[in-house]
């Protein structure tokens, strides 16, 4: 009887989370799959078109171009963010007044929305009155116009730097927490053996941070599929289609061209791709076999 009452209490505690999960995760996915089989502009009655949206979108070069840009952003973002987050996280894991004060300023980007950060960076990078152009002209005394968001060759790398600036503090927080959880006895034993700092890093710190590295990488790679807001604010996919990633292409198809059927098709494709990517990462990195590395655990 007591067991049944506990189960009922646990179920009631889970109800709010389950309601939100089905309302904002499960239902939108099934609704997107259903809508992908219709031609709909959101106002007139939807028309059943079968797999026409799927064949149209999956044969469109625009989709493959957007998917290629997304993969490029994903790989380069991981390559930039992971080593920087690791180094800064290890530095900030030291207990000192200086690192505590630095952390307060360093984690400031986490407090602002992506839209606010995008607007701020659009002013900083403005080639007419931006901070970057002012430094080039007035301090470096160079006659060069740095239109980083208007250059088709530079815009994607500029966005990757801005995205890294936005998300490195979050991943640094993961590495900082992971580094502080490493048993001190390992470093004390290494110090008695007289090993160098570089050896301690490669043979103690990095192996002990394996779970953190895997967790951060999974979040980083799967999260790259959803980079939308800051790119929308800064470039809206331009110039041309040089920064038109898959999430932005989905938004423009559905909410600017009012083609909700093809837009839902892109959304479902993104979801399937994200699930497959997550499964591959879980299988290949040992994410599902993680064990505690704490002393005595």
pLDDT tens profile 143-175: 888 888 988 999 999 999 999 998 998 899 899
Residues 6+ apart with CB under 8 A from 118: 229, 230, 232, 233, 234
Q: Is the pLDDT of residue 2 over 70?
A: no
More confidently predicted of 100 and 123: 123
Q: How confident is the model at residue 1 (pLDDT cuts 50, 70, 90)?
A: low
Peptide bond into 239 cis (omega under 30): yes
Q: What is the DSSP letter of 137?
A: I
Q: What are phi and psi of 82, to 5 degrees?
A: -65, -55
Q: Which of 83, 291, 102 is nearest to 171 (CA)?
A: 83
Say what the pLDDT of residue 31 is: 92
State the pLDDT at residue 215: 87
Q: What is the pLDDT of residue 106?
A: 72
Tell me the C-alpha distance between 182 and 274, whole Å. Answer: 32
pLDDT tens for each residue of 205-214: 988 898 899 8
Give me the phi and psi of 209, to 5 degrees please.
-95, 15
Instruction: Give CA–CA dist 172/165, Å, rounded.
Output: 11
The proportion of the chain whose per-residue pLDDT surpasses 70, expressed as a percent, equals 94
pLDDT attached to residue 296: 46
CA-only gyration radius of the chain, Å:
24
Q: How confident is the model at residue 287 (pLDDT cuts 50, 70, 90)?
A: low
- Average pLDDT estimate for 194-202: 85
CA distance 265 to 37: 8
Which residues 6+ apart lie within 8 Å of 172 measured at CB? Answer: 85, 88, 89, 92, 106, 107
Higher confidence at residue 81 or residue 188? 81
Q: Which parts of 93-201 fold into alpha helices (H)? A: 97-106, 114-124, 131-134, 155-180, 184-192, 197-200
pLDDT at 33: 93
Strand partners, 48: 38
**pLDDT at 228 exceeding the cut of 80:** yes
Please determine, for residue 34, whether its predicted confidence score (pLDDT) is greater than 80.
Answer: yes
Per-residue pLDDT, 4:
60
Task: Look at residue 61 in the predicted model and tell me its pLDDT.
Answer: 92
Which letter does DSSP use for residue 24 in this model? I
| DSSP helix/strand/coil, 47 | strand
Higher pLDDT, 265 or 107: 265
Task: Dig out the tokens for 270 from the structure.
Answer: 């993104």
What number of other Cβ atoms are within 10 A of residue 128's Cβ? Answer: 7
pLDDT at 92: 85
pLDDT at 293 over 70: no
Rounded Cα distance, 133 and 199, in Å: 43
Residue 297 pLDDT > 50 = no
**Do residues 170 and 146 touch, judged by C-beta distance below 8 A?**
no
Per-residue pLDDT at 81 exceeds 80? yes
Maximum average pLDDT range among 94-98, 196-200, 244-248, 280-284: 244-248
pLDDT over 60 (residue 140): yes
What pLDDT is attached to residue 3?
Answer: 54
pLDDT for res 100: 72
Q: Which pLDDT value is given to residue 235? A: 92
């Amino acid at each position: 009887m007591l067991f049944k009452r506990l189960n009922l209490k646990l179920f009631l505690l889970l109800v709010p989370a389950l309601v939100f999960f089905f309302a904002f995760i499960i239902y939108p996915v099934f609704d997107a799959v259903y809508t992908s089989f219709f031609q709909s502009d959101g106002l007139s009655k939807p028309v059943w078109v079968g797999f026409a949206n799927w064949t149209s979108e999956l044969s469109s070069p625009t989709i493959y171009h957007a998917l290629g840009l997304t993969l490029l952003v994903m790989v380069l973002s991981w390559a930039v963010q992971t080593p920087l987050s690791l180094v800064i996280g290890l530095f900030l894991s030291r207990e000192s007044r200086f690192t505590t004060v630095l952390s307060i300023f360093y984690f400031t980007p986490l407090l602002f929305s992506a839209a606010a950060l995008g607007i701020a960076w659009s002013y900083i990078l403005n080639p007419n009155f931006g901070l970057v152009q002012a430094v080039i002209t007035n301090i470096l005394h160079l006659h060069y116009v740095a239109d980083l968001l208007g250059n088709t060759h530079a815009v994607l790398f500029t966005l990757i730097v801005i995205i890294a600036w936005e998300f490195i503090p979050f991943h640094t927080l993961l590495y900082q927490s992971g580094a502080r959880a490493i048993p001190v006895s390992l470093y004390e034993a290494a110090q008695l053996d007289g090993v160098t700092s570089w050896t301690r890093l490669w043979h103690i710190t990095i192996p002990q941070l394996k779970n953190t590295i895997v967790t951060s990488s999974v979040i980083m790679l799967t999260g790259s599929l959803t980079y939308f807001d800051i790119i929308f604010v800064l470039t809206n996919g331009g110039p041309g289609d040089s920064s038109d990633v898959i999430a932005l292409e989905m938004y423009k198809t559905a909410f600017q061209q009012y083609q909700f059927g093809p837009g839902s098709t892109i959304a479902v494709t993104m979801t399937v791709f994200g699930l497959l990517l997550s499964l591959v990462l879980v299988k290949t990195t040992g994410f599902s076999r993680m064990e505690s590395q704490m002393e005595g655990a």
